[in-house]
Amino acid sequence: MSMVKSLVLIDSIFLNNRNMDSFKIADRTFNSRLFVGTGKFSSPELMKETLKASGTELITVALKRADLSGENDPFANILDFFESDRYLILPNTAGAMNCDEAVRIARLAEASGLPKWVKLEIHPDPNYLLPDPIETLKAAEILVKEGFTVMPYINADPVLALRLQDVGCATVMPLGSPIGSNNGIETRAQIEIIIEQANVPVVVDAGIGLPSHAAEAMEMGADAVLINTAIAIASNPAEMAKAFASAITAGRTAKMIGSSSFSRTASATSPLTAFLN
Amino acid sequence: MALFSEILPSLPVDAFCQQSIDSSLQSVDRILSNGKANSLSEFATLLSPAARDRLEQIAQISQSLTQQHFGKVIRFFAPIYLSNECVNICKYCGFSRNNPIPRKTIAVDQVVSEVKQLAKKGFKSLLIVSGEHPKFVSPTYLEDCIAECIKIMPGIQIEIGPLSNDDCVPLVNAGCEGFVLYQETYHKETYQKHHTAGPKKDYLARLEAVENAYSSGFRKLGIGALLGLYDWRHEAIALAAHAKHLTKKCWKAQVSLSFPRMRPAAGEFSDDNLTEVTDRDMIQLICAMRLYLPKAAFTLSTREPQSFRDGLIPLGITHMSAGVCTEPGGYSDFDDETWTQTREQPGEQFNIADERPPHEVAAAIQEKGYEAVWKDSEKTLVTQ
């Protein structure tokens, strides 16, 4: 690629970023590759401001935190702080410890008028909140058949990702490291395989603690990242959200241009092929 | 895996206490540089007199670990007392069977009406508490209470006494998600001194009760030591070991810890019998515990006074009660507006210290930069 050509490409990425670099999950188009979780914030007002600053178009909410009775309960009004024309609200099944519980709560969310989308997360272990692969696959199969757009949270297991893709999941969401750990992409080698093999978008979920981790996920070729703790407990969540958004744009741009090749050895001569000359 | 009652007797708790007393500031600093306590021995070091000089650092690490796992959030719950009938004699407890207090067990209808009152104040999480009495507080009565309460409160836990698996399973099926039982004191001789009659006399049965309950399907387990009965370092070390044991053995359950300090109550117990636990000791205990158990829930009750509770909010606490009445049926006589008791409460378990109504405590939590979360459970998850 010539220098001029690549500069034009960079330009168009930045100028037309919103049109050019969109991607789809199921039938919905997203212009932002930053997805945001809504737990752990110090106040719902701050959460609302942060979501706006982040530029996100998809937010996920724990159904156990929300009032699903339709009674406008002021003590469980987290949903009231979401502007549903701005974001897709992705209900999540946090708190479910097995397939049955996850399926029940997803159905309840739909019945209460939330989108028929679900972030399927089943964690029987309350300490590291690691997802149960067996229960997740079972629940995914049921919910897909019922017409849900299913986005499963999984450990970075490439075969599981393919199995979930086969049963009709709309994405796979492998973890970078345990939820809340802010340790970054420790499952890198596995996520690379998932990205290589997937036909559905790959969203790196959990463990992303710094904007540089998010940029790394983008450079690896992930379609999006989902971030909660690193933004919610930052001393200035709105500014931190913007920092993540910038890092995601940077990483994505780099991925689209393609990284410069680098060599670990000198290449002045070609000892192995010199005999051809 | 062994029972904790089999492990504790061979655990050198006294040696850990001595090691704690003898710890140097250097050994404290070495642990703090790792940002966590990797063993019971390191935890003991953080409880040391030397570590008092590092209380601020310990508190800061505790805050950061707590925020990382739980967020800037305090979850709210309310206890409801079903009965002060009790077959046990516990010298420090208002419900102790030989105390001449008016005895009462509230009917399921009144339980429902009080729970509705609590729900109106915002509560979605309920701790059902009662004296231990197989006749008045029978398994079927408990099951009825839970089956009715779950219609109003999506999160229910019980704190009653050791229960058999046969008694627990119907409670879990009715929607009860948590089993709470405090050992009171882990020091066996002290335990025997204070629990002189009734099934609670059996120290080992109580020590085994929580892990036994787990096998019935509870997804939350609560333990605690009543501070003031025996040396607080001893209690803290045994409690930490118990929590660690439960975390490993009962891996599907969220373990929560409570650190109740003795409060005035009816009965023969006087302040002279108390082992002192100062505010500084309490904070050191709680924050050090966070460095040993970064993901355990820590509960703070209204036994503690307002200023101390508010100070603890950002230090490692995750769950708080508010606007509490410890007498069965007591909420029925609360003034709905001011949420204050309109009469004397001779049948209470103990005097509470923080008498603020729930919305005032919620405001104090917000003031500290935390969100007061009322709902964090869903009925659909715990019932078919």
Render pLDDT for A125-140 as a digit per residue (tens, 0 to 9): 999 999 999 999 999 9
- Per the CB < 8 Å rule, is A95 touching B380? no
Q: Least CB-CB distance to B295: which of A66, A108, A127? A: A127
Q: Mean pLDDT lowest for which of A105-114, A209-218, B144-153?
A: A105-114
Tokens of B70: 């739980």
Q: How many angstroms separate the CA atoms of A76 and A276, rounded? A: 75
pLDDT, position B266: 67
Clarify whether A119 is annotated catalytic.
yes
Q: Least CB-CB distance to A75: which of B67, B124, B295? A: B124
The answer on pLDDT for B286 being more than 70 is yes
ipTM tops 0.85: no
Alpha-carbon distance B201 to nearest alpha carbon in chain A (angstroms): 33
Q: Which residue of chain A has the CA closest to B314?
A: A42
- Per the CB < 8 Å rule, is B73 touching A181? no
The answer on pLDDT for A4 being more than 60 is no
B5 pLDDT tier (thresholds 50, 70, 90): very high
B327 pLDDT tier (thresholds 50, 70, 90): confident
Phi, psi of B72 (to 5 degrees): -90, 70
Give A180's contacts in chain B (Cβ within 8 Å).
68-69
The answer on pLDDT for A202 being more than 90 is yes
The active-site residue, picked from A40, A119, A138, A145, is: A119
Interface of A with B in 204-243 (CB under 8 A): 229, 232-233
The answer on pLDDT for B271 being more than 70 is no
Phi, psi of B90 (to 5 degrees): -125, 120
Q: Mean pLDDT lowest for which of A74-78, A265-269, B336-340, B368-372?
A: A265-269
The answer on pLDDT for B294 being more than 90 is yes
- What percent of chain B is predicted at pLDDT more than 70? 98
DSSP string covering B108-175, please?
HHHHHHHHHHHHHTT--EEEEE----TTTT-HHHHHHHHHHHTTT-SEEEEESS---HHHHHHHHHHT
A66 touching chain B per CB within 8 A: yes
Mean per-residue pLDDT over chain B, rounded = 93
A101 touching chain B per CB within 8 A: yes
Q: How many angstroms separate the CA atoms of A76 and A36, rounded? A: 20
Phi, psi of B258 (to 5 degrees): -130, 150
- Per the CB < 8 Å rule, is A233 touching B69? no
DSSP string covering B276-333, please?
P--HHHHHHHHHHHHHH-TT-EEEE-TTS-HHHHHHHGGGT--EEE-S---STTGGGG
Q: Least CB-CB distance to A75: which of B72, B252, B374? A: B374
